[in-house]
């Protein structure tokens, strides 16, 4: 970690933290909440590393006031949370669940009372199980149901949510949920998962129209991006890197910014109907960028069903997830977006950036996490360099406020600025929480003040 003072950011820069509903809320069967694909997946033996579920998670549903106080103590200007579709619309269509909307209204009002901007993500992977039973994101109708749900949420909260995010990481949901089966709903379609990509993006476009009809707040999508590092020097290795870049970074960005789908992927375009690409390319106010690490890629073996092979990047520190820590990858990624899309690129906010380490309380009950401080320090410096290079970046959200239920890894990976004892639900701010609080305060004070 650098010993130099943290970099300064422009006035009005948005400092935030992020969470998602299924990972923290709990209350899985309370107050009319319906079942999601993640409820089903987590309760299927062998799917989750430690056999746990998100039934209780961080119990945020009952403890949200305590968590809002932690946000206020941190000094953030925004909180990115997700709305659980099955809590609002238990079957994914039809009648709304008033208790579900009441919860999010309480949360939003509590945030505003503390001077914190509510940033609401409408879909963070927890599709209502009834919709999955009808085909899920492989079915075109799900896109229309998503727009209906967006309208319901915006009708209640559209005057108070300060930024809408339609989808979180549609690439990850397509690839892990529908391609390899590592995430819910557990489908293993590989490249035949393209309909799940198209229908998510169509749902995004339809939801943009619904949100703008109800709310004057800006609208975004949060994409996961990974700079591609080709491992090898053959023509086949270079081609593999280009294929992976088209899949991971361009499949969910080219159509959003009016370029259509990358032709070199060769996907069957049957799900794409007349007018769909215009709907998907509805102008964005913000592009949310989730960055964790670059990806090493080389040519695949001749018998592989994929045109590339993912390989570890050597020579970097690693997180508890075994991800390489490459802060400059954030600068590299933002520069790639800036060069690739030019004037079509809307202002950017970093909607997720964070790391998992095996944090534990010491003998005095404190939770030191110097590796996370070094990670955040390095990534903020890389972000400052990207601004200096001319990229319009207006916010940075840390993943995550709390240690949470980390999808297929269960409770085995800790990303939080705040340690959670999952047996007692006790919250303990880590040393990174105090560090970030001072960074935010210093940035607001300005240099030499």
Annotated binding site: 23, 124, 168, 292, 399, 406-407
**Residue 352: active-site member:** yes
**308 close to 243: Cβ distance less than 8 angstroms:** yes
Catalytic residue among 352, 364, 409, 438: 352
**Residue 169: active-site member:** yes
Distance, in Å, from the CA atom of 181 to the CA atom of 445, rounded to the nearest integer, reads 47
Q: Collapsing DSSP states into helix, strand and coil, what is residue 82?
A: strand
Tell me whether strands 418-421 and 426-429 are parallel, antiparallel or unpaired: antiparallel
Catalytic residue among 25, 132, 169, 245: 169
Give helix 98-113 / helix 60-74 axis angle, nearest 10°.
Answer: 20
Q: Of 188, 234, 218, give the one whose Cα is nearest residue 351.
A: 218
Give helix 431-445 / helix 60-74 axis angle, nearest 10°.
Answer: 50
Tokens read off for 417: 């600025």
Distance, in Å, from the CA atom of 317 to the CA atom of 323, rounded to the nearest integer, reads 8
Tell me whether strands 295-298 and 309-311 are parallel, antiparallel or unpaired: antiparallel
Distance, in Å, from the CA atom of 413 to the CA atom of 416, rounded to the nearest integer, reads 9
Binding-site residues from annotation for substrate? 23, 124, 168, 292, 399, 406-407
Tokens read off for 445: 């004070």
Q: Which residues are part of the catalytic machinery?
A: 169, 352
């Amino acid at each position: 970690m650098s010993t130099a003072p943290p970099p300064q950011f422009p006035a009005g820069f948005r400092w935030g933290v992020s969470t998602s509903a299924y990972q923290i809320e709990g209350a899985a069967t309370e107050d009319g909440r319906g079942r999601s694909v993640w409820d089903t997946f987590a309760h299927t033996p062998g799917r989750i590393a430690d056999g746990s579920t998100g039934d209780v998670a961080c119990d945020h549903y009952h403890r949200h006031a305590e968590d809002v106080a932690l946000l206020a103590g941190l000094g953030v200007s925004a909180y990115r949370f997700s709305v659980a579709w099955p809590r609002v619309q238990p079957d994914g269509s039809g009648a709304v669940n008033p208790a579900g909307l009441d919860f999010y209204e309480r949360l939003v009002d509590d945030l505003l009372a503390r001077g914190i901007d509510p940033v609401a993500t409408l879909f963070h992977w927890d599709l209502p199980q009834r919709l999955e039973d009808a085909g899920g994101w492989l079915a075109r109708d799900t896109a229309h149901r998503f727009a209906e749900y967006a309208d319901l949420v915006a009708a209640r909260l559209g005057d108070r949510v300060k930024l809408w995010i339609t989808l979180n990481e549609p690439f990850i949901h397509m690839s892990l949920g529908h391609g390899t089966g590592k995430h819910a709903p557990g489908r293993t379609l590989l490249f035949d998962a393209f309909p799940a990509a198209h229908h998510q993006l169509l749902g995004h476009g339809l939801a943009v129209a619904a949100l703008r009809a109800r709310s004057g707040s800006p609208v975004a999508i949060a994409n996961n991006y990974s700079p591609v590092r080709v491992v090898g020097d053959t023509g086949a290795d270079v081609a593999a890197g280009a294929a992976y870049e088209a899949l991971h970074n361009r499949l969910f960005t080219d159509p959003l910014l009016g370029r259509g789908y990358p032709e070199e992927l060769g996907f069957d375009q049957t799900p794409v109907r007349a007018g769909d690409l215009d709907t998907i390319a509805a102008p964005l106010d913000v592009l949310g960028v989730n960055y964790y690490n670059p990806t090493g890629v080389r040519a695949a073996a001749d018998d592989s069903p994929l045109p590339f092979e993912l390989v570890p990047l050597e020579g970097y520190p690693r997180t508890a997830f075994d991800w390489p820590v490459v802060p400059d990858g954030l600068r590299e990624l933002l520069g790639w977006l800036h060069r690739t899309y030019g004037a079509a690129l809307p202002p950017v906010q970093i909607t997720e950036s964070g790391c998992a380490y095996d944090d534990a309380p010491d003998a005095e009950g404190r939770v030191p996490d110097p590796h996370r401080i070094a990670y955040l320090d390095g990534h903020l410096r890389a972000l400052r360099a990207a601004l200096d290079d001319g990229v319009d970046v207006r916010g940075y959200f840390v993943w995550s406020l709390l240690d949470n239920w980390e999808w297929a890894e269960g409770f085995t990976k800790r990303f939080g600025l705040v340690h959670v004892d999952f047996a007692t639900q006790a919250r303990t701010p880590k040393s990174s929480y105090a560090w970030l609080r001072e960074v935010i305060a210093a940035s607001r004070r300005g240099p030499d003040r």
